[in-house]
A and B are shown apart, each in its own frame.
Chain A
Amino acid sequence: MPSGAGSHNPAGIGRSLPERGLLLLMVLVFLEGSVLPLGAASSPDIRHQENVDNHKAADPGHNFTKKAFPVLDLDYKHIQTPFEISLWVLLASLMKLGFHLIPRLSSIVPESCLLITVGLLVGGLIKLAGEQVPPVLDSRLFFLCLLPPIILDAGYFLPIRPFMENLGTILMFAVVGTLWNAFFIGGLLYAVCQIQPANPNPLHAMELLPCLLFGSIISAVDPVAVLAVFEEIHINELLHILVFGESLLNDAVTVVLYHLFEEFAGAGTVTVMDGVLGVISFLVVALGGVLVGAIYGILSAFTSRFTSHTRVIEPLFVFVYSYMAYLSAEMFHLSGIMALIACGAVMRPYVEANISHKSHTTIKYFLKMWSSVSETLIFIFLGVATVDGPHAWNWTFVTVTVILCLVARVIGVVGLTYVINQFRIVKLTTKDQFIIAYGGLRGAIAFSLGFLLDKNHFPMREMFLTAIITVVFFTVFVQGMTIKPLVELLAVKKKQEAKRSINEEIHTQFLDHLLTGIEDICGHYGHHHWKDKLNRFNKKYVKKCLIAGERSKEPQLIAFYHKMEMKQAIELVESGGGVKLPSAVPSTVSMQNIQPKKPPPAKPAERALPQLPKGREEEIRKILRSNLQRTRQRLRSYNRHTLVADPYEDGFGDLLLKKQRMIELEKKIKDMSNYLTVPAAPPDSPTMCRARLASDPQAYSMKQGSDGVPTIHVDLASPQSPDSVNLMDEFRQASQQQEKDEDQGLMMKPPSRPTGRRKPGETDADKDQQKLMRCLSDPGPSAEEDEDEDEPFLP
């Protein structure tokens, strides 16, 4: 995926030595790629001669003339295919690296353009070398190998909420818009071909059906091109999902139209019956594709429920099931793209709830890697195929095509928006319409479909290909390059970069329920009502089947909260713990600032607790607070001045220290006579150990327990984690302990293993444990060592 343009070179001018080396390497790869096929061409002949000679020498009388044992041999044929594939992939990856060495260029020209140019160059080089250009954009290779990773990446990470909210609009654009484009372009092209009666024109031979076929090929917006260009311009979510969703869903229309016209171009006529069959076929293709994808998605989710003991192959299930969904759909001539999207979107919420954190990261990075390489390869191959492909340039045809594409798109978008806006609540403005129209890029899918045409049925195939390539080049180069400045010029709303906060999540959920409630009061079954019904169905039945263990009951808000805390914890550890604040806004606000100062009235709980006199509590709290603050400061100075070690280790030391502190405190509490009737939790129970993990250094301030009950059930790294433990005890003993605490010094003892982790322990701690285990339990081939490794940071 093209990353944002950025300058890696601090100086900005002149390249440093490593970068020159990289450029040299790329040139070498170029040459190697073009020269080796030459070598391949020549060497077999030589070897063939040798073999013949050997045979001639060997045959008469079986006199084996012993030739010199080949110490070094060149056998290119043996490894040719994998070698060339690897070479292409390497070239693509080096290109991606190389572009960012030239920062100015990568900010003006989108990556797709640069890649096509590189492809042109490579194709040109190969042709110059006299070699035959490999048929790289072979349709089978394209549709079976290059396209699926990109679509899977898009489908798996599809933002479901905006997609569903705008589904009506997206479908209108995808289905009606593409149909309109196809017929408008095809029809008008035919009309244009028929005029000019004066000059004898090869175009006169064109019939209506091939024109319509051509129109259907060229009319579909291409997801690869859209992704490549829109990724870099960061427009707001609505427009992005509209154009992108359209590019994904129009595949069904394209498939049906293509097959329909291809079939009947031979026959020559299309009847009404065929039209009706076409419509039915469209529904079958679209819905069938979605169904196939959904089935595979559910299978994958169900499989992931049982992978708790073999975490390493979890990502594999995701990839293989998705790919099989694609292939199965293609087998039945259903829409493979829609199957892939449906599969990814359906399985994602359940799989994410089941798999470990590491598998999640693996899936994410593999998908991004594959789709990035695929996309790069596609654009390079486009360039190569342009140099290669048989071309038949016809000025009229090509220019009319380009103009008609633009005009059809604009008219289609404007007309459809007018209709859609009657039904939308948040209307599409003119600016939005312009971006949607302008973002209708064509790409490699159109070219591959054209490539698939049979020369016998379509004698003007070359002309088609030329026209398609011209349109693709035009949209990618002209529209791709100018869309960024246009977005700036029109001041289109950009994507909001803010991280999702817990407040937003709470209020999103709150709004959902509120709007559903208001709809119910109003009495009509709207959008929210059905969404709510679906959610309840999901919670009640589906989640229980597909999600393992206790997590099936976990509400979304809590899941989000845990994810966020995890992220913060990991950030904290990576940043070296304690030295840098993990929050986006550095602030000194801590829990003590929020908690009310007045002690709440003692609630009649199962465990009766005595109340400390108010003044004493204040005093104790102040002491504790200052103690910890001093500790924190001392730790910081320890890190910066005393120890010369890398921040990673410092953070490690920090965490260990805090852990140490808490362990000592708890031990002392246990030793003291039990003032309370509350049984103190064993110091090594999983909850206690988790409690020691601070996701936030501020969390170590003492918090006044709001209900006075020292609760043991804390969530993973909540901001109040260590505090709720045995609060009352600590208040009393704090004053005696503070001197002892200060003298504790810096003992680095290895963290005690939470022995309670393996035992089932208390039932209520069970589910927390499961969460913990899922986060941590990613045993490699040797489970024990890996778990040891994981221990220090997340005990």
Chain B
Amino acid sequence: MGASQTRTESKYQDLADRTGFSPEQIKNLHKRFQHLSGNEDTISRANLNSIPALANNPIKKQIIEAFFDKRNQHQDEVGSFGEIGFEQFLMVMSHFRPPTLKTTEEEKEALRKEKLRFLFNMHDTDNDGTITLEEYRKVVEELLSKSGAIGLEAAKAIADAAMLEVASTNVPHMAPDDFYEGITFEHFEQILQGLEMESRMHIRFLDVDTTTMRCGKSTS
């Protein structure tokens, strides 16, 4: 028992160093992972799909896809997994860590780039390095998908307007024959720089284990 515990602890420590979580947070997330996977070693898309709270989310598919996207693993691979293990799960979660008081300006910049990259990958489904008009339209359509017929009609107009805005801001002077291929990562960074991603794109990861506090009630 003692040996296996130290082994898990050292594994946690290793993961903690790589992803930046604290060992307590990793332990909690591991518990959650076990719950989602039904105590297996890997989770599939079906596992995530079955979370009831996600049913109301308009971009549920994209979120689940992001977990299985190899590009989010910081390993320069492309494509997608069929199933992911805890390590990959953790890597994806690490994109949502907040900056701390000790984060320097350069680290904040790197953090922001990383988060923007995550978003970019979510939009760029065919992995050609740009978000084309079709892909952007898809994004807006999904966002408005829960709003019925009004949403679908307006989605196209909104996506076109947004694309126009990106093009105007980044490449102001285009000849009438030029074609704006799509939003590159640099352009993407440029248009979202006002949002301060490093302070907005994060969730609170618990240091305390709350699942036991819920008196065994099986939650999502």
Contact = CB atoms under 8 A, between A and B. Distances in A.
Interface of A: 421, 425-427, 429, 496, 498, 501-504, 506-511, 513-524, 526-529, 532, 536, 553-555, 557-558, 561, 565, 583, 585-597, 625, 629, 701, 706, 711, 713-715, 718-720, 767
B110 interface: no
Interface string B45-59: 000100101101111
Interface in B188-202: 191-192, 194-195, 199-202
B68 to A, nearest CB: 13
B48 A521 contact: yes
Contact of B173 (A508, A520, A555, A588): A588
A509 B145 CA distance: 13
Contacts of A519: 203
A719 B150 CA distance: 18
Contacts of A521: 32, 36, 48, 51, 54, 63, 67
A232 B177 CA distance: 47
Residue of A421, A503, A553 contacting most chain B CB atoms (<10 Å): A503
A596 B179 contact: yes
Residue of B35, B57, B98, B164 contacting most chain A CB atoms (<10 Å): B164
B147 A594 contact: no
B208 to A, nearest CB: 10
A513 B58 contact: yes
B167 A593 contact: yes
B51 A504 contact: no
A711 B160 CA distance: 15
B172 interface: yes
A511 B100 contact: no
Interface stretch (B1-9, B70-78, B151-159): B151-159
Interface in B1-53: 29, 32, 35-36, 48, 51, 53
Interface of B: 29, 32, 35-36, 48, 51, 53-54, 56-60, 63, 67, 93, 96, 98-101, 119, 122, 132-134, 139-140, 143-144, 147-148, 150-151, 153-154, 156-158, 160-169, 171-176, 178-180, 191-192, 194-195, 199-206, 210-211, 219-220
A593 B176 contact: yes
B160 A520 contact: no
A515 B197 CA distance: 12
Contact of A523 (B35, B194, B195): B35
A425 B179 contact: no
Contacts of A588: 172-176
Contacts of B101: 421, 427, 429
A520 B173 CA distance: 44
B51 A595 contact: no
A426 B199 contact: yes
5 contacts: A426-B98, A520-B53, A522-B29, A588-B175, A589-B173
B154 A509 contact: no
Contacts of B153: 711, 713, 715
A587 B174 contact: yes
A520 B57 contact: yes
B162 A503 contact: yes
B151 A518 contact: no
Contacts of A583: 168
A720 B156 CA distance: 10
Contacts of B157: 561, 714-715, 718-720
Residue of A421, A429, A555, A586 contacting most chain B CB atoms (<10 Å): A555
Contacts of A720: 157, 160
Contacts of B172: 585-589
B156 to A, nearest CB: 8
A522 B63 CA distance: 13
Contacts of A498: 194
B187 to A, nearest CB: 10
A594 B163 contact: yes
B52 to A, nearest CB: 9
B169 A526 contact: no
Nearest to A509: B143
Given A518-B203, A587-B173, A718-B161, A554 B191 contact: no
B191 A517 contact: no
A509 to B, nearest CB: 6
A557 B164 contact: no
B167 A504 contact: no
A427 B100 contact: yes
Given A521-B48, A555-B150, A594-B164, 5 more contacts: A503-B165, A517-B54, A593-B174, A593-B178, A719-B157
A485 B190 CA distance: 31
B219 A589 contact: no
A501 B143 contact: no
A511 B203 contact: no
A524 B54 contact: no
Contact of B192 (A426, A504, A520, A555): A504
Given A526-B203, A528-B203, A553-B148, A558 B158 contact: yes
Nearest to A715: B157
A524 B51 contact: no
B92 to A, nearest CB: 9
B58 A593 contact: no
Given A523-B32, A594-B180, A513 B59 contact: yes
A767 B200 contact: no
A651 to B, nearest CB: 21
A627 to B, nearest CB: 12
Nearest to B60: A517
B176 A561 contact: no
A589 B58 contact: no
Residue of B174, B176, B194 contacting most chain A CB atoms (<10 Å): B176
B133 A558 contact: no
B171 to A, nearest CB: 7
Contacts of A527: 204
Residue of B67, B148, B150, B199 contacting most chain A CB atoms (<10 Å): B150
A585 B166 CA distance: 11
A450 B54 CA distance: 55
